[in-house]
Amino acid sequence: MDQRQALAAFSALSQETRLHIIRMLVVSGPDGMAAGAIAEKAEVSPSNVSFHLKELERSGLIAQQRESRSIIYTANYEALGGLIRFLMEDCCGGNPEICAPAAAVAACCTPATKGELQ
Amino acid sequence: MDQRQALAAFSALSQETRLHIIRMLVVSGPDGMAAGAIAEKAEVSPSNVSFHLKELERSGLIAQQRESRSIIYTANYEALGGLIRFLMEDCCGGNPEICAPAAAVAACCTPATKGELQ
DNA sequence: TCAATGATTCAAGGATTATTGAAATATGGA
DNA sequence: TCCATATTTCAATAATCCTTGAATCATTGA
């Protein structure tokens, strides 16, 4: 993730509806959600959700794929991880005072997955 | 860090000049930098840097303090750490696939500081 | 007090982004 | 083919953000 992508990602996440959508897609995992389902759950109009989904896709944080009549959106885990990494490394220079709280979170979610990641 | 603050922080970081400023302030540490020095190094006009500094301060990512004629700006390490934490926990639900790359960064910057943090 | 320095504020303009509803596109089934 | 469903695109408007230069404010030293 370079600065250009990071700027786009920050921009994408700086809007309430879009942050909400990202959250829903992370929770829904690899199955993702159809545009209509996202619109319904986020309580926004179809055309408005379409606008924000396009914005999120442009930033690389989500991906789409057609499934019959629906278009399924999924979170791009790699991009989200890359953004966190950018924030810690490139932006904050790996500064321990900044990264320590993040390390605490990482410590409490990664041990349980030992072996689950290749 | 709640969602409101996170949205403000993402918005603050989504602008090239401001991201540049944050980087400089993280590097400059607790000494911070005067507004004029920031403007010079970032190559923007005084009034423009003032606009972006106000925006960054509003988001809580930096703080200011007057020092004689100068106004010194410093990065708010706690807020930056809080934002990374928000991204990992609240936004991404501590999802291991997303947090793993961040954990790798954390692992390579925190051991060296053992004991340096209270 | 006066001038110089460092910085902010303000107003105007331009640029980008968000919202809305209507129209268009794509897919699948009768 | 025709219709219904799922979604996007488009145009218009509203809202927000960025930039610029002139004016203002705060501090210091002569």
B35 pLDDT more than 60: yes
* pLDDT of the residue at A8: 98
* pLDDT of the residue at A74: 98
Q: By three-state DSSP, how is residue B1 classified?
A: coil
For residue range A71-116, what is the model confidence (pLDDT) as tens digits?
A: 999 999 999 999 999 999 999 998 999 998 888 887 777 654 443 4
Query: Mean pLDDT in chain A?
Result: 91
CB contacts of B83 in chain A (<8 Å) are 87
Chain B residues 32-71 with a CB less than 8 Å from chain A = none
Place of tokens 């199955």: A31
Mean pLDDT, to the nearest integer, of B60-66? 98
Question: Cα A101 from chain centroid?
Answer: 20
End-to-end CA distance of chain B: 21
Are B49 and B35 in contact by the 8 Å Cβ rule? The answer is yes
Three-state SS string across chain A, please?
CCHHHHHHHHHHHCCHHHHHHHHHHHHHHHHCEEHHHHHHHHCCCHHHHHHHHHHHHHCCCEEEEEECCEEEEEECHHHHHHHHHHHHHHHCCCCHHHHHHHHHHHHHHCHHHCCCCC
Closest CA–CA distance from residue B31 to any residue of chain A (Å): 15
Structure tokens given for B98:
């997303």
Distance A50 CA to C24 C1' (A): 15
* pLDDT of the residue at A110: 62
Burial B89-98 (b: 16+ CB within 10 A, else e): bebbebbbbb
Rg value, chain B, Cα: 16
* pLDDT of the residue at A111: 55
Structurally, at CATH architecture level, domain A1-109 sits in Orthogonal Bundle (1.10)
- Cβ–Cβ of B95/A26 closer than 8 Å? yes
Mean pLDDT, to the nearest integer, of A11-32? 98
Query: Mean pLDDT in chain B?
Result: 91
Closest CA–CA distance from residue A28 to any residue of chain B (Å): 11
Distance A7 CA to C16 C1' (A): 15
